[in-house]
């Protein structure tokens, strides 16, 4: 068999292509991004980055209404954004298969929360599949589309970071179980698709009827199976947790659940009756455990397996040890070695265009509501220049609320209020926030950091870049024109590599009463890597070791060895610039008061 | 009683963002797959490209369930940076082997007063790991003409401790690197094999 090692995300893309999906829409978000990036490379498919997840799901719904098999992908918090169309889509259904892939991030490797999106399936009453590895991820794509088509419902494929990004062996051959149905085109069906109250009332009972049918499907789903072994311990589990259970408790009996909404109640009862002690091992919330409790069955789970963070083989072993049933001694892992606690947080790259802005903001004594992107890293020392990060687009609206409240309540605080937001995040959901500021005569200084790409997720095109996901040329939004169209006449571009100019611009906007927009325009250096312009070097005769340059938090700048006392000079360590990684942005040269940093000679 | 998991080979690859940790672990898991094993690997993407900590777990065996290695169960740790070696030493099983580059990358957080670099990293590694292999991989790579060869040199060292054929290593490496760097990478791999 033709085999490859694929990530869960690559496997979903392959599965979607092989199952005849023709249209896909998404907004990038870790850990889901690679699904569409991979899908977009297959022949004969259309894939797009939408400005946000709500738009993406609506595009997908419109597509599936014509009978075409369609894919929507999102990270967990993105489904909050798309929840509005989802909840009514659950009423209308769609003729074409519509698979919604949702990638949760237990452990918050790259997210602002670790919400458990399995509850969305229950909330919307739509079928949910949960793969445990890449092969299953691929197989569940077609299964989900078939469920969607047969039961006139979107299907949710719920993944997690460890399934999305772990790689495992996948058979590449097409294993389509059924022929792809011919799309019948758009058909008018007012009582199904026009959700005025009178028609929605007709649809709601159908949702409940569908749920009953899906319960029966779950009882016989091939993705739900009992692996009977030692009857003394029975474990119900799903997703990546299944792998940890098999690893740690190879002798236990396992009920592996792949279809987790609706849950196979009959199968759970049957399994519970066969085992002496019943456990549920699941990440995050007691989603399965609570349902079993409702059945009145004795079950143990969250007492041993935390609701916090992702699980791991270690956490699962520790849980079973606590429960007194671990069949082996916990491995004698040594203590962490001394020195292992040194922090190495991710940071803005050498030459990152965000650095100059946040260095300047740090000097402003301002309240800075920030948004979601690489620039959120400026919360850490030494830049430490933002006050909040909540969700996509929130910076501008929160800044507006803060400014209004301070004025209304007469709070004695003269600090100016800034909002700092990236280009892609602004397109995602900052535009409506800015509209609110302008419409309601707010006093917020908005900074849009236009680095010409969606950087944090690894460099995706967006409406400002002039290219589509499939690399076709397209319109590039002019941010200044857009902002002026919203009614903000005070808007201009600045260069964040020019520190003096940036500081002056910020001060000017602080002094100005009313809303303003500054656009810092510099491309992301990771994605538009050019030859370093002019690598900087430290003149050790001039350097006094004052550490001013270190306050930039640049990974290229460090300290050299300690230089002992000399006549007239105290003990000090010169600054050192790593020529291999310096990009030549010249911020360090601008902050050095000793003029000790300059372009490498020659 | 200890867990009967002797049959699975666990390799933990660690370093910092941008060093090539992910590529090294991809090559290793490909070699394991073409050698007929079930193979899994797991790492975290996302924020790690901004210079943070990067770890990749590679496991191969007849049948692999968990894509992650338990603490205290790594047969081999392959590290690109000394402080990162120290950070993950507790993953190495008793009798497991540590292969580490001698390179030190001091994070700017240290200069911001958020902690200190373990200056005694090499001694700690010597004390905690039996018979570690400390490699001057960066100077070796620079001498060969490209600092990015650190990756292949370290894989060369690791290959001497793993039950995978040299031919399969070389075929995967040749497949994975750009054609014009193929020969240089194979030389780097051989130099890595000669370290021990």
| Distance from the Cα of residue B27 to its chain's centroid | 11
Query: Cβ–Cβ of A168/B39 closer than 8 Å?
Result: yes
| Cα–Cα distance measured from residue A171 to residue A223, given in angstroms and rounded to the nearest whole number | 18
Is A246 an interface residue toward B (CB < 8 Å)?
Answer: yes
Q: Name the residue among A246, A319, A330 with its Cα closest to residue B93.
A: A330
pLDDT of residue A347: 85
CA A382, A385, A387, A393 dihedral sign is negative
- Torsions phi, psi for B124 (to 5 deg): -60, -40
Q: Which among A5, A328, A349 is the nearest to B30, CB-wise? A: A5
* Cβ–Cβ < 8 Å for A574, A559: yes
Q: Is any Cβ of chain B less than 8 angstroms from the Cβ of A247?
A: yes
CA distance A550 to chain B (A): 7
Tell me the average pLDDT across B178-194. 96
Q: Which chain B residues contact residue A328 at CB under 8 A?
A: 1-4
* Same fold? A225-322, A536-599: no
Structure tokens at A344: 């190495």
Q: Which token pair is A520?
A: 């810092």
Q: How many CB atoms lie within 10 A of CB A541?
A: 8
Contact A322, A305 (CB under 8 A): no
pLDDT above 90: percentage of residues in chain A = 88
**B64's tokens:** 């692999």
Q: Is the pLDDT of residue A30 over 50?
A: yes
Angle at B20 between CA B18 and CA B21, to 5 degrees: 105
Q: Any idea where the domains of chain A sit in the sequence?
A: 3-220, 225-322, 354-521, 536-599
Contact A497, A354 (CB under 8 A): no
Identify the CATH assignment for A536-599 out of 3.40.50.11140, 3.30.70.3270, 3.30.930.10, 3.40.50.620: 3.30.70.3270
Taking the CA of residue B151 and the nearest CA in chain A, the distance in Å comes to 17
> What confidence score (pLDDT) does residue B1 get?
40
Collapsed DSSP state (helix, strand, coil) of residue A464: coil
| pLDDT band per the 50, 70, 90 thresholds, residue A332 | low
Cα A19 → chain centroid: 26
Helix/strand/coil (H/E/C) assignment for every residue in chain B: CCCCCCCCEEEEEEEECCCCHHHHHHHHHHHHHHCCCEEEEEECCCHHHHCCEEEEEEEEECCCCCCCCCCCCEEEEEECCHHHHHHCHHHEEEEEEEEEECCCCCCHHHHCCCCCCCCCHHHHHHHHCCCCEEECHHHHHHHHCCHHHHHHHHHHHHHCCCCCCHHHHHHHHHHHCCHHHHHHHHHHHHHHHCCC
Q: How far apart are CA B27 and CA A320, in angstroms?
A: 35
Q: Which residue of B has its CA nearest to A162?
A: B42
Question: Does the pLDDT value for residue B48 go beyond 60?
Answer: no
**CA dist., res. A527 & res. A573, Å (int):** 34
Q: What is the pLDDT of residues A391-443, one digit of tens each?
A: 999 999 999 999 999 999 999 999 999 999 999 999 999 999 999 999 999 99
- Domain A225-322 carries which CATH code? 3.40.50.920
* Distance from the first to the final alpha carbon of chain A: 58
Q: What is the pLDDT of residue A571?
A: 77
Q: Detail the DSSP E strand segments found in A78-186.
A: 98-104, 128-129, 155-160, 167-171
Which whole number is the average pLDDT over A569-586? Answer: 86
User: Is A227 within 8 Å of chain B by CB?
Assistant: no
CB-based contact A457 B46, cutoff 8 Å: yes
Instruction: State the DSSP H helix or E strand holding residue A524, giving kind and residue range, or none if neither.
Output: none
User: Tokens 């500054």 correspond to what residue?
Assistant: A518
Q: What is the spatial distance between Cα A352 and Cα A355, in angstroms, rounded to a whole number?
A: 6
Interface residue A561 vs chain B (CB under 8 A): no
More confidently predicted of B130 and A144: A144
Fold type of domain A354-521: Rossmann fold (3.40.50)
Count CB atoms within 10 A of the CB of residue B159: 22
CB contact under 8 A, B40 and A167: yes
Average pLDDT of the segment spanning A222-240: 98
Q: Which residue in A306, A301, A302, A330 sits closest to A317, CA to CA?
A: A330
Phi and psi torsions of B105, nearest 5°: -120, 110
In a 10 Å sphere around its CB, with 0-12 CB exposed, 13-18 middle and 19+ buried, how is residue B102 labelled? middle
Domain architecture of chain B: domains with CATH:
9-137+162-174 (3.40.920.10)
Residues A558, B111: C-beta atoms closer than 8 Å: yes
Task: Tell which residue, A170, A159, A74, A72, has the closest CA to residue A118.
Answer: A159
The pLDDT tens digits for B139-154 are: 999 999 999 999 999 9
pLDDT digits (tens, 9 = 90+) for A340-380: 999 998 889 999 999 999 999 999 999 999 999 999 999 98
Q: Which of A547, A522, A161 is nearest to A374 (CA)?
A: A522
> Can you give the pLDDT at residue A86?
98
State the pLDDT at residue B45.
59
Select the more confidently predicted residue: A551 or A564. A551
In this complex, is the C-beta atom of A328 within 8 Å of any C-beta atom belonging to chain B?
Answer: yes
pTM of the model: 0.96
When pLDDT is averaged across residues A270-294 and rounded to a whole number, the result is 98
Residue length, chain B? 196
Per-residue pLDDT averaged across A2-16, rounded?
94
Of A96-110, A346-360, A437-451, A555-569, the poorest mean pLDDT is in: A555-569
DSSP state of A378: G
Percentage of chain B exceeding pLDDT 90: 83
Min Cα distance A580 → chain B (Å) is: 10
Mean pLDDT of B32-54: 83
φ, ψ for residue B58 (rounded to 5)? -120, 130
Flag whether residue A171 sits within 8 Å of chain B, measured between CB atoms. no
Mean pLDDT value across residues A80-93: 98
Closest CA to B58 of B14, B10, B7, B5: B10
User: CA A309 to CA A319: how far, in whole Å?
Assistant: 14
Q: Which of chain A's residues have a Cβ under 8 Å away from the Cβ of B53? A: 344
Q: Do the chains contact at B2 and A331, CB–CB below 8 Å?
A: yes
Tell me, what's the pLDDT at A59? 98
State which residue of chain B sits closest to A314, comparing Cα positions: B70
Nearest chain B residue (CA) to A241: B66
CB distance B189 to B156 below 8 Å:
yes
Name the residue among A109, A167, A240 with its Cβ closest to that of B46.
A109
Residue A581 has pLDDT above 90, yes or no: no
Q: Which residues of B touch A333 (CB under 8 A)?
A: 70-73, 90-91
Whether residues B124 and A554 touch (CB distance < 8 A) is answered with no
User: What is the model's pLDDT at position A387?
Assistant: 97
- Range with the poorest average pLDDT among A55-69, A178-192, A253-267: A178-192
A558/B41 Cβ within 8 A: no
- Residue that is written with structure tokens 């802005």 in the block: A357
Percentage of chain A lying above the pLDDT 70 cut = 97
**Can you read off the two tokens belonging to residue A61?**
């719904």
User: Chain B neighbours among A 407-446 (CB < 8 Å)?
Assistant: none
Kindly report whether the peptide bond that precedes residue A395 is cis, defined as omega within 30 degrees of 0. no
Q: Does A335 touch chain B (CB under 8 A)?
A: yes
> Is the per-residue pLDDT at A573 higher than 90?
no
What is the predicted pLDDT for the residue at A1? 54
Give the chain A residue nearest B66 (alpha carbons): A243
Residues in CB range of A189: below 8 A, 6 or more apart: none
B78 within 8 A of B129, measured Cβ to Cβ? no
In this structure, the dihedral spanned by the alpha carbons of residues A243, A244, A249 and A255, taken in order and rounded to 10 degrees, is: -50
The radius of gyration of chain A from alpha carbons, rounded to an integer in Å, stands at: 27
Q: Across chain A, what does the average pLDDT equal?
A: 94
For domain A3-220, the CATH superfamily is Thiamin diphosphate (ThDP)-binding fold, Pyr/PP domains (3.40.50.970)
For residues B7-32, average pLDDT: 94
Of the candidates A165, A87, A88, A81, the residue with the CA atom closest to the CA atom of residue A115: A81
In total, the C-beta contacts within 8 angstroms joining chain A to chain B are 198
Q: Give the integer Cα–Cα distance in Å for A65 and A77.
A: 25
CB burial readout A407-436, b (16+ within 10 A) else e? eeeeeeeeebbbbbbbbbbbbbbbbebbbb
List C-alpha distances in Å: A11 to A140, A161, A469, B80, B180.
10, 14, 19, 30, 30
């Amino acid at each position: 068999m033709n085999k490859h090692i694929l990530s869960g995300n690559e496997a979903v893309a392959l599965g979607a292509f092989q199952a005849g999906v023709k249209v896909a829409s998404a907004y990038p978000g870790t850990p889901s991004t690679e699904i569409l990036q991979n899908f977009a490379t297959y022949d004969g498919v259309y894939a797009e980055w939408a400005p946000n997840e709500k738009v993406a799901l609506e595009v997908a719904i419109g597509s599936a209404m014509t009978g075409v098999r369609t894919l929507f992908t999102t990270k967990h918090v993105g489904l909050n954004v798309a929840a509005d169309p989802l909840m009514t889509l659950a009423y209308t259904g769609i003729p074409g298969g519509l698979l919604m892939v949702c990638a949760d991030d237990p452990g918050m490797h790259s997210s602002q929360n670790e919400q458990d999106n399995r509850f969305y399936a229950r909330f919307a009453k739509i079928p949910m599949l949960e793969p445990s590895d890449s092969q299953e991820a691929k197989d569940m794509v077609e299964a989900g589309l078939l469920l969607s088509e047969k039961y006139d419902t979107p299907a949710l494929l719920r993944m997690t970071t460890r399934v999305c990004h772990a790689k495992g062996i996948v058979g590449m051959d097409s294993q389509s179980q059924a022929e792809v149905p011919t799309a019948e085109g758009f058909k008018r069906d007012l009582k199904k698709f026009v959700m005025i109250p009178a028609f929605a009332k007709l649809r709601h009972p159908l949702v409940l009827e569908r749920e009953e049918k899906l319960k029966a499907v779950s009882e016989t789903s091939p993705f739900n199976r009992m692996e009977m072994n030692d009857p003394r311990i029975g474990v119900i589990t799903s997703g990546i947790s299944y792998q940890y259970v098999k690893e740690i408790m190879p002798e236990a009996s396992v009920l592996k659940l792949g279809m987790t909404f609706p849950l196979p109640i009959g199968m759970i009862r049957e399994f519970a009756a066969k085992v002496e002690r019943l456990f549920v091992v699941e990440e995050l919330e007691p989603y399965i455990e609570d349902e079993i409790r409702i059945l009145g069955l004795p079950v143990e789970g969250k007492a041993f397996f935390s609701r916090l963070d992702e699980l791991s083989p270690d956490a699962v072993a520790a849980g079973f040890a606590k429960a007194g049933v671990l069949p082996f001694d916990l491995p004698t892992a040594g203590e962490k070695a001394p020195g292992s606690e040194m922090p190495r947080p991710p940071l803005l790259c050498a030459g990152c265009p965000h650095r100059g802005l946040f260095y300047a903001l740090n000097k402003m004594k301002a309240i800075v509501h920030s948004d979601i992107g690489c620039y959120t890293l400026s919360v850490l020392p030494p830049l430490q220049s933002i006050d909040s990060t909540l969700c996509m687009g929130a910076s501008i609206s929160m800044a507006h609320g803060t400014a209004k409240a301070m004025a209304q309540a007469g709070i004695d605080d003269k600090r100016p209020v800034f909002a700092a937001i990236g280009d892609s995040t602004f397109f995602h959901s900052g535009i409506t926030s800015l509209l609110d500021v302008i419409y309601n005569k707010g006093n917020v200084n908005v900074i849009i950091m236009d680095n010409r790409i969606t950087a944090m997720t690894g460099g995706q095109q967006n409406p400002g870049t002039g290219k589509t996901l499939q690399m076709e040329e397209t319109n590039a939004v002019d941010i200044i024109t857009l902002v002026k169209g919203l009614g903000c006449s005070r808007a201009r571009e600045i260069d964040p590599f020019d520190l003096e100019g940036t500081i002056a611009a910020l001060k000017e906007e602080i002094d100005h009463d009313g809303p303003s927009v500054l656009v810092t325009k510099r491309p992301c250096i990771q994605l538009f890597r050019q030859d370093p312009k002019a690598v900087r070097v430290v003149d050790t005769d001039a350097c006094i070791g004052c550490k001013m340059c270190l306050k930039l938090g640049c990974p290229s700048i460090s300290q050299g060895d300690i230089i002992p006392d000399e006549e007239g000079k105290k003990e000090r360590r010169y600054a050192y610039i790593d020529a291999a990684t310096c990009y030549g942005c010249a911020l360090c040269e601008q902050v050095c008061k000793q003029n000790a940093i300059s372009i490498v000679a020659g | 009683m200890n867990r009967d998991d002797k049959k699975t080979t666990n390799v933990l690859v660690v370093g910092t963002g941008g060093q090539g940790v992910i590529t090294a672990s991809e090559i290793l898991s490909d070699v394991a797959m073409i050698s007929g094993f079930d193979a899994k690997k797991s790492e975290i993407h996302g924020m790690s490209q901004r210079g943070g900590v990067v770890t990749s777990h590679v496991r191969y065996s007849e049948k692999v369930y968990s894509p992650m290695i338990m603490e205290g169960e790594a047969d081999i740790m392959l590290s690109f940076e000394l402080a990162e070696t120290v950070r993950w030493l507790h993953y190495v099983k008793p009798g497991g082997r540590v292969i580490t580059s001698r390179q030190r990358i001091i994070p700017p957080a240290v200069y911001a007063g958020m902690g200190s670099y373990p200056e005694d990293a090499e001694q700690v590694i010597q004390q905690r790991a039996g018979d570690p292999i400390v490699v001057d991989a960066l100077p070796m790579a620079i001498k060969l003409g490209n600092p990015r060869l650190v990756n292949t040199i370290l894989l060369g060292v690791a290959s001497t401790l793993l039950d995978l054929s040299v031919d399969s290593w070389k075929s995967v490496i040749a497949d994975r690197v750009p054609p014009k760097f193929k020969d240089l990478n194979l030389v780097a791999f051989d130099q890595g094999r000669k370290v021990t």
